[in-house]
Structure 1
C-alpha cells in the first residue's frame, strides 16, 4: 500500500467521524429521545470504518516502520540464508556477493540427511571415510546423530564441487538413500539498505531465514506498541460513540462554558481606571471633540499638545556659539545701562559736611 492510498483511507475515516458528528447535531430536529439511536449509529460507523479503513493501514505499519528506520540507522545487519542445492551453489553465492550493499558472504558446509541408519558401525565409518576422501574441499565430516551429517568445507572451497562429490558417494559406495541436502550461509549487509538487499537475495535462489542487527532491533521495539487489528476496530467503535455523544450535547456544553466564563470573569485594573480625555481631540467619545488619553488615537491626533515634540530642533555647535554671543552682548548692554546710572548718582550725592549751597554745615552745641 502506497502513501497516497493511506492518506485517502485516513481522510475517509475522518469523513465518517464528521458524518456521525453532524448527525448528532440534529438533536433539535430528531429529539433527545433518540439518543440511543445516535449512539448506535456512531458505534456501527466506527466499527465499519475501523475494519475497512484503519485495519489495512495497521497491516502496513511494519513496512513503513522499516523504511523510516533504515533512513536513520547505521552499521551492518547479519542475514542468515538457506541456499537451494537444486542450483549451482557457487553461482548463487557469487550472485549474492555482487548485490549492492552486501559486504561479505560466509558459509561452513553442507548438511545431509539420510532415510535410515546404517546397519553397522563399520558401514557408518566406511561412509564417512569415503566422503572425506571424495573431494579436496572437504575438511571434515561430522556425525550429528538423528540420521544427519555435516560436511564441513575448507575456507574458500568450492561448495558446488563438494555437493557433486556427496551425490557420487551416495550413488556408488553405500546402500543408504539420501533424503535431502541443504546449505546455510551468512551475509553481512549494510543496515541502511536492508529492504532492497532482501528483495535481491530472494531473487538469487536463496531463502532468508533470519535477520539480526540494529535495524531489526529498532523495528521490533516500535512494533511492540502497534495495536493489533482487533483492538483497532474496537477503538474505532468507541471513538464513534464518543463523537456521537459530543455532537449530541454540544449545545449544552457551549451554554455551560459561556455561563461559567461570565461568572468567573473579573474586571481588570485597567477597567477600574477612570477614563480621562483631552478636550477637542477624541472623535469616538460621547463628548464632542475629545480624545481618550488611554487610546491610541491620542498619539495619532493632530490636535494633541501634551508631551508633543513636533517643534523640537536639535542644537548644533553654531547654534551654541550664536547663543553665547547673544548672551555676552546682552550682558554688555545691561552693564552699560547700570554704569550710567551709577555715575549720575555719584554726581547728585552731596559731600559730607557741606550743604547744597556750598557752605559748610555747623553742628550746634549740645547744652548739658
Structure 2
C-alpha cells in the first residue's frame, strides 16, 4: 500500500476511534464510579455519614422522625447552629464572645467571627429549636428585633445500601448533603481520581483505532511471522 494511502487510513482510523469513544464509550466510562460504588453498597455493615446544613425554617423534629422511619437509618444528630448577624467591630465581637455563653447554660463551645457569624455547639442532645429560641428571646430583649435567618448543622448516618434512598428523600425536601463520608463515597473518589479526563479517553480511543488499523494493514506479514516464531520455539524445545 502506498505511504500516502497508509497515512490516510491511519488518520481515518484515529477519527473513527475518537468519534466512537466520545459518543459510545465515554458515557459508559463515566459510569465506572457508580459501578465501583455498587460493590461497597452491598457489603453488610458499611455506613455513610451525611453532613447537612439546614435552614432554621426546616422542621428538624419532623425531618428526624421521617428519616428514622426509613429502612437503613442509623442515627441523626444536631451538632451546632450558626446565627449570622452583622459585621462586628472589635468591641462588638468582644461583647458577644463574653455574653453568648451566659445566654443559655446548654450551649457548648461557641465561636464569634468578625463577619458576624456566631456558631454554637449543641451538647447533651439539646435541640437546635431550643438553642435558637433562647438566643432569639435574648436578642429581642436586648436589641428589640427578631432573627431573620439561622442555619442548623446535623449529621445523618445511614447504611451504605440505603444511601440513594436517603439522598432522594432529602432532595425531595430541597436538602442536599454538604459533604458525605463513607465506603461508598471513598470508592467513588478513588475511582474518579484514577480515571482519565474525557479528552484523554477520547484520544486513547483514537489511538486504539490506529493500532487496529495498523494490524489490519500488516496482518498478512504479521501472521506468517508469528507462525515462524512459534515454529522456532517448538523446534528449540524439541532439541
What SS class does the counterpart of residue 206 from structure 1 fall into? coil
Give the TM-score of the pair, scaled to structure 2: 0.79
Name which structure has the greater RCO, CA cutoff 8 Å, separation 6+: 2
Report whether the alignment pairs 1:92 with 2:63.
yes
Which residue is 1:242 aligned to? Answer: 211
Cα separation, partners in 2 of 1:185 and 1:126, compared to 1, 3 Å: closer
Cα separation, partners in 2 of 1:192 and 1:129, compared to 1, 3 Å: closer
Report whether the alignment pairs 1:49 with 2:17.
no
Give the TM-score of the pair, scaled to structure 1: 0.54
- 2: CA distance between counterparts of 1:256 and 1:121? 86
Which residue is 2:128 aligned to? Answer: 159
What SS class does the counterpart of residue 143 from structure 2 fall into? coil
Report whether the alignment pairs 1:139 with 2:111.
no
Greater share of helix:
2
Alignment of 1:1-368 (within 5 A): 34-72=5-43, 74-117=45-88, 120=91, 124=95, 128=99, 132=103, 138-139=106-107, 142-146=110-114, 147-174=116-143, 178=147, 180-258=149-227
* Bigger Rg, which one: 1
Give 1:118 deviation, angstroms.
Answer: 6.5
- 2: CA distance between counterparts of 1:101 and 1:40? 54
- 2: CA distance between counterparts of 1:171 and 1:236? 66
Give 1:122 deviation, angstroms.
Answer: 11
158-167 vs 202-211, which moves further: 158-167
Q: Name the count of aligned residue pairs.
A: 237
Q: Which digits, 9 at most, give the CA deviation of each residue in 1:288-334, with x for residues without a partner?
A: xxxxxxxxxxxxxxxxxxxxxxxxxxxxxxxxxxxxxxxxxxxxxxx
Which residue is 1:334 aligned to? Answer: none
- 1: CA distance between counterparts of 2:16 and 2:56? 53
- 1: CA distance between counterparts of 2:88 and 2:42? 52
What SS class does the counterpart of residue 157 from structure 2 fall into? strand
- Residues 54, 153 of structure 2: 8 Å contact kept: yes
Cα separation, partners in 2 of 1:119 and 1:227, compared to 1, 3 Å: closer
Q: Which digits, 9 at most, give the CA deviation of each residue in 1:179-202, with x for residues without a partner?
A: 741111112222333232222233
- Give the CA RMSD over aligned residues: 3.6
